[in-house]
């Protein structure tokens, strides 16, 4: 029994390595060892075992490893708690997402549940966590969808905005991200009028237009720069 448990733990660890290195440019053995809570020697052995099985893990000890982009991981299996977490997350998020994403979330969770073992599926469907549909109103969710699409396409937007002091203004913004604060959605972006980062409550946007003009990432004006500014302000 102990031998079977050890094999299972190692199998889980090998799969976890694939999950960790996937999408990263380079993952060192030291970083993997920290994430897996094992020694670097164990990581070297596990990587060698994966390579011997034909997994395209490029790299070497002392340098780092990466997974070739064309490698497909096998289908994921979820524990009971993981399945419960997915269902709870979708229930909480649906009334706060734009209609297209909300529908996609419902479809995705249905696909996941359909391939789970019966016990895991029953555990997920029985989770007693619910979120009443008290999210943003329909116009706000429609604007949220337009902004999400503009962010994905790197297209500027024009907005007519009414701030909390009832002061109206028209702005051209490079949209970088939308943030949900438990009651309201906000748009964060680079305001070309102020030549700085600005945040706008989406429910106070009176007119929104996605422009044909595409913007490129520029030093000091991107999402990473915005997040660093937020962290400095918050003292993180």
Give yes or no: residues 89 and 162 share one domain.
Answer: no
Give yes or no: residues 57 and 108 share one domain.
Answer: no
Residue 185: inside a domain: yes
Beta strands in 68-204 (DSSP E): 155-162, 168-180, 185-191, 196-201
Residue 133: inside a domain: no
Sequence-distant (6+) residues with CB within 8 A of 121 are 83, 113
Give yes or no: residues 142 and 229 share one domain.
Answer: yes
Residue 131: inside a domain: no
Domain of 114?
80-125
Give yes or no: residues 95 and 144 share one domain.
Answer: no
Give yes or no: residues 19 and 88 share one domain.
Answer: no
The answer on pLDDT for 212 being more than 90 is yes
Query: Rounded distance, CA 139 to CA 177, Å?
Result: 18
Q: What is residue 235's predicted lDDT score, i.e. its pLDDT? A: 63
Work out the pLDDT band at 8, boundaries 50, 70, 90: very low
- With beta carbons less than 8 A apart as the criterion, state whether 201 and 139 touch: no
Give yes or no: residues 154 and 111 share one domain.
Answer: no
Q: For position 48, which CATH number holds?
A: 1.10.10.10
Work out the pLDDT band at 74, boundaries 50, 70, 90: low
Give yes or no: residues 115 and 144 share one domain.
Answer: no
Give yes or no: residues 150 and 223 share one domain.
Answer: yes
What is the tens place of the pLDDT at every residue in 160-193?
A: 999 999 999 999 999 999 999 888 999 999 999 9
> Which of 46, 67, 88 delimits the end of a domain?
67
Give yes or no: residues 211 and 173 share one domain.
Answer: yes
Side-chain-side CA neighbours of 120 within 13 Å: the count stands at 16
If you average pLDDT over every residue of the chain, what do you get?
Answer: 86
Give yes or no: residues 89 and 49 share one domain.
Answer: no
Work out the pLDDT band at 57, boundaries 50, 70, 90: confident
The answer on pLDDT for 140 being more than 90 is yes
The answer on pLDDT for 213 being more than 50 is yes
Q: For position 230, which CATH number holds?
A: 2.30.30.100
| Other CB atoms within 10 A of residue 40 CB | 16
Give yes or no: residues 152 and 199 share one domain.
Answer: yes
- With beta carbons less than 8 A apart as the criterion, state whether 46 and 10 touch: yes
Q: What is residue 73's predicted lDDT score, i.e. its pLDDT? A: 61
Residue 211: inside a domain: yes
| Domain count for the chain | 3
Residue 156: inside a domain: yes
Residue 73: inside a domain: no
For the chain, what is the total number of helices (H) and then of strands (E)? 8, 7
Give yes or no: residues 162 and 227 share one domain.
Answer: yes
Q: Higher model confidence: residue 81 or residue 211?
A: 211
Residue 75: inside a domain: no
Residue 194: inside a domain: yes
């Amino acid at each position: 029994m102990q031998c079977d448990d050890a094999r299972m733990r190692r199998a889980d660890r090998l799969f976890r390595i694939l999950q960790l290195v996937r999408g990263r440019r380079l993952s060192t053995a030291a970083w993997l060892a920290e994430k897996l809570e094992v020694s670097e020697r164990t990581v070297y052995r596990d990587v060698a075992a994966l390579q011997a099985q034909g997994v395209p893990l490029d790299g070497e000890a002392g340098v780092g490893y990466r997974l070739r982009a064309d490698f497909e991981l096998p289908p994921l299996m979820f524990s009971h708690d993981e399945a419960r977490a997915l269902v709870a997350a979708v229930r909480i998020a649906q009334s706060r997402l734009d209609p297209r994403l909300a529908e996609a979330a419902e479809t995705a969770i249905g696909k996941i549940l359909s391939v789970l073992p019966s016990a895991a599926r029953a555990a997920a469907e029985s989770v007693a966590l619910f979120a009443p549909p008290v999210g943003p109103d329909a116009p706000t969710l429609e604007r949220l969808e337009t902004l999400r699409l503009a962010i994905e396409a790197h297209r500027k937007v024009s907005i007519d905005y009414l701030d909390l002091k009832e002061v109206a203004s028209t702005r051209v913004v490079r949209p970088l991200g939308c943030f949900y604060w438990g009651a309201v959605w906000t748009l964060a972006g680079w305001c070309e009028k102020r030549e700085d980062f600005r945040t706008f409550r989406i429910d106070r946007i009176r007119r929104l237009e996605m422009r044909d003009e595409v913007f490129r990432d520029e030093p000091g004006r991107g999402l990473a720069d915005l997040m660093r500014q937020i962290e400095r302000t918050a003292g993180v």
